[in-house]
Amino acid sequence: MTTKKDLGEFLDVLDKEDAQEREIEAHGGSFFETAPDDETIVARAREFDDLHKHWVRRELWLKTVKRIRKAKGAGLRLLTLPGQHLFEIKLYAKEELLERLNDDGEERLAVIGFETDPTVFGLLATAGPRLLEVLRGDVLAALTEPKSSNGKVIRTHAPYDVINLDLTTNIATRNDGPYSPFLQGVRECFHIQGAQTGSWALMVTFRAGMMETEPTVIRKLEEFFQKNLDEHLKVREACLDRYQVETAKEVLAKHPEEGLGQITGKWVIEQGHAFEWECTFFRHAAYERAYTTATGQQRYSLRKLVFEFSRRLTGRRQLVLGTIPAQSWHGEDLTRLFAATALLDVDEAVAKIKPEYKRRIEDEIEAMR
């Protein structure tokens, strides 16, 4: 029997149509309203299938994921931005690294994928292999808005074994002001990973454009870095060893894009510490991009950071203190930033690869399209 309340609820649902219309009236949710100019849309779409990117997939991401898979002893659960041709997912799936779920007779890979481009989303939603979830929208918005529909889905499937935020944005654009959705999103990853008991990997990609990045955010990160250098002798020594300077300001002045990557990496590791995660592996790969616009040739640097975290709980004796003091291993963790093997120049690596290996990578890209 329908009650008056039922009917009221039903009519409330229908009322949402008006709100939908008003939102669209205000261009809410339009791909083109949030997208950059045509050239940038096209340029970004071209970034998925180049050699540099695939080199990072094979040499950095795949190897990391294999380690996590080995440690777990079971298929992995992945949160990522798959892209049109699912290169990353196909690479992992080929190596049997991903968990396979049987959804009442239909097999799905344990992958939660985000996509903003409506076409690519459509292709992913209807493509094989089937993913556990394909969500249209911004992954950072889903991470930072737990009550949004995508935010709920992302949390339903957490924790993940691998989170790959393969973004092409800056860590904080000038429009963002001091509040960076990027940094908020990364921090939220540690929240949703609360139930993770094993090792997991976090991969983040961003554009390191000093001129495009919000200065207050850079200044703040720089301050945090300087504080580390002051607090941890080991970090200061490692920094000096690597850059032959002792202050954060000097690092950024001397190596602006790499420095921006490093202070962001440092910030991520420290977020992990706050959630009792030890960083057991760190890599910082980078390559440059060039594109042509009406105003001439433009370039920017893409930074690709990879972290592996394992739980490291605070001692019981320290927990009774009002605030948890810095742990000795925190400093050791941070020195990973400056290890000789931590930084990877992808441009250089790709330039040196042997022709047959290059051909193999190119063939692999073609085969996976």
Positions that interact with another protein (CB under 8 A): 1-2, 6-7, 9-10, 13-17, 20-21, 24-25, 29-32, 35, 37-38, 41-42, 45-46, 49, 104-106, 117-119, 121-123, 125-126, 130, 136, 149, 153, 369
Rg (CA), the chain: 22
CB nearer to another protein: pick between 137 and 198: 137
CB of 187 to another protein, least distance (A): 26
Q: How many residues does the chain have?
A: 369
Rounded Cα–Cα distance for residues 237 and 233 (Å) = 6
The CA distances from residue 292 to 31, 38, 167, 204, in Å, are 22, 12, 21, 26
CB nearer to another protein: pick between 4 and 316: 4
CB of 129 to another protein, least distance (A): 12
CB of 367 to another protein, least distance (A): 11
CB nearer to another protein: pick between 39 and 223: 39
Residue type, 108: R
User: Which residue, among 231, 228, 312, 324, has the nearest Cα to 270 in the 3D structure?
Assistant: 228
CB of 108 to another protein, least distance (A): 10
CB of 302 to another protein, least distance (A): 17
CB of 98 to another protein, least distance (A): 19
- Per DSSP (E only), the strands in 137-209 are 162-170, 200-207
CB nearer to another protein: pick between 25 and 356: 25
Rounded Cα–Cα distance for residues 83 and 366 (Å) = 15
User: Which residue, among 230, 256, 210, 186, has the nearest Cα to 334 in the 3D structure?
Assistant: 230
Strand partners, 287: 302
The CA distances from residue 61 to 2, 18, 182, 203, in Å, are 55, 45, 20, 8
CB nearer to another protein: pick between 28 and 194: 28
User: Which residue, among 275, 129, 250, has the nearest Cα to 193 in the 3D structure?
Assistant: 275
CB of 127 to another protein, least distance (A): 8
DSSP type of residue 58: I
CB nearer to another protein: pick between 84 and 226: 84
CB nearer to another protein: pick between 121 and 287: 121
